[in-house]
Structure formats: structure tokens, C-alpha cells
Amino acid sequence: MSREEVARRLEWSSSTLFRIETGRTKPQPRSVRELLGLYEVSGAEKEGLVQLAREARQPGWWHSFRDVLPNPYEVFIGLEAGATTIRAFEPLAVPGLLQTPEYARAMIRGGPQELDPDEIDRRVQVRVARQQILMRADRPRLWVVLDEAALHRTVGNDTIMREQLAHLVAVSEQGRTTVQVVPFGSGAHAGTSGPFVILNFAEPADRDVVYLETIPEGVYLEGANDVEAFMLAFDRLLAAALPPDDSVSLIQRVAGAGS
């Protein structure tokens, strides 16, 4: 496809496309997304390139951790940092954005990869640094649904778990973060196929993204039907979950039982 044809289809000037192609200007993420859509680039490759466009305009802190971050996860951190709403479901563990440092260390140490102590330290630093988005004035709306199993699974030791559960209660009392629990009594539910994260963005051209963390790397879904399916699953999980206040009470009871 010629440069003139690409410019015509995107309704750009040929000079704009030339400046982007030759690196003479830093393109907007929206422009990169439109260009990749025309070239039929999709999935993780597309999200990675769009994220690179974002980072080119404002380098992210996570660049200094590239030695311990697989590329798909690095892309996820960048997307997470730019999201306005984050919805997460976790059936077995507390999600990274709400983990205490010691809980995170125990999770990373017990994960699928063999890591040396320095690598574990670096990954804990990444997990803690990610949480800074919840301290911003324009922090995202975070909505987390946990299976009750995540409260009972001892990660690390009893002390670490008590501190982690207390942290969940504390963040639940802050604005813009909601934690709800699907109790054991709910039986089978819409999250039995595993954890997922839905990211929403303020920019209309930035499509909503579903992230599935898998071995060996994460999977991105951005098709409208895929995102809608996971939004429906999340809504069904909310219907099965306890209300926020009752969820906090359950977390407190589990923490007290383990003390």
C-alpha cells in the first residue's frame, strides 16, 4: 500500500504520515492505533506498539526494570497506569495492586519461575511501584472481586496474611477502591475459568482491554465482543458477591480467625 493510499484512507496529509514514518515527529497513541488497524495488526503486538507510542511521549518508571519484566507484562503496566477504571477478578490470591510487600514477595517466590533473591527483590519493587497509581490525584477507579478462597489461602505465613487482610480493609475504606468477595456459599460462579483484568480509558480512541495473565506470558483481548463478554462476567460476579460493607466484615472475620 502506497503512502498516498494510506494517507487517503486515514484522512491524513501525506506530510503527516511521512513525518511519522521517518521518525521526525512522535505520533499520538491514537494515530498509531489507527495506522495499525489499517495494517491489520492486532492483539499483544498492537497493544505493545501503542504503548511504545505512549512511552515515547512520556517515559515510564518501569523502563528501569526491563531486566526483570517480560515484554507483555511491561505493556500491561503501562496500560494499567493510563487506565481510568480497572476491574479485576482474582479467585486464589489478592491482586498485585492491593498486595503488601511481604505478601508480594511470598507470591513471587512461590510463582512458576525460579528466581534469584535479587530478581525477587526487583519484582517486589515493581509491584509496590505499580500501586502508586492509587495515590494520584487522578487515580483510577479500582473495583476488585475476590473469591473467598483468596482470603483463606495462607501466602507466606499467618502474620503476612493478617497484615494483608488488614490492608484490604484499609483500602476498602478509601475512595475510588472497592473490594467485594464472592463467598463460598455462592457455589459455581462466572469466574471459575480464572482471573482477569478489564482496563478502561478516557480517550475514546483507546479501546478497552482485557488482560489474562498466563504462563509463559499474558494475553490481551481488545475485540468489542471479547471485552463485552468479560464485562458481563464481571457483572455476574458482582451479583454473586457480598455488598462492599459485608465483604469488609467477612475479611475482618477471616483475619480474626487466623490470629
Task: List alpha helices for 173-243, DSSP H.
Answer: 224-240
Report yes or no on 240 lying in a domain. yes
Q: Model pTM?
A: 0.77
196: containing domain: 69-257
CATH number at residue 244: 3.30.870
Task: Pick the range with the lowest mean pLDDT from 14-18, 158-162, 201-205.
Answer: 14-18
Q: State the average pLDDT for the chain.
A: 89
pLDDT at 25: 63
Instruction: Give the position of cell 455462592.
Output: 186
Report yes or no on 2 lying in a domain. no
What's the pLDDT tens digit per position in 189-228?
989 999 999 999 987 767 899 999 888 778 889 889 999 9
Instruction: Give the position of cell 490470591.
Output: 93
Report yes or no on 168 lying in a domain. yes
- Residue 18 — very low, low, confident or very high, per pLDDT cuts 50/70/90? low
- Residue 9 — very low, low, confident or very high, per pLDDT cuts 50/70/90? confident
d(CA 18, CA 33) in angstroms, rounded, equals 17
d(CA 201, CA 80) in angstroms, rounded, equals 9
Report yes or no on 209 lying in a domain. yes
Strand 85-90 vs strand 196-200: parallel, antiparallel, or unpaired?
Answer: antiparallel
Give the three-class secondary structure for 164: helix
The whole-number average pLDDT for the span 35-50 is 86
Residue 155 near residue 95 (C-beta atoms within 8 A) = no
Residue 86 near residue 141 (C-beta atoms within 8 A) = yes
Q: Is the pLDDT of residue 232 over 70?
A: yes
Number of domains in the chain: 1
Report yes or no on 136 lying in a domain. yes
The whole-number average pLDDT for the span 79-105 is 96
Residue 170 near residue 99 (C-beta atoms within 8 A) = no
What's the pLDDT tens digit per position in 122-147?
999 999 999 999 998 889 999 999 99
The whole-number average pLDDT for the span 59-66 is 73
Burial class (CB in 10 A: 0-12, 13-18, 19+), 12: middle
Report yes or no on 31 lying in a domain. no
Residue 242 near residue 180 (C-beta atoms within 8 A) = yes
Better-scored residue on pLDDT, 171 or 14: 171
- Residue 259 — very low, low, confident or very high, per pLDDT cuts 50/70/90? low
Residue 57 near residue 20 (C-beta atoms within 8 A) = no
Report yes or no on 37 lying in a domain. no
Beta carbons within 8 Å of 147's beta carbon, 6+ residues apart: 90, 91, 92, 181, 182, 189, 191
Report yes or no on 218 lying in a domain. yes
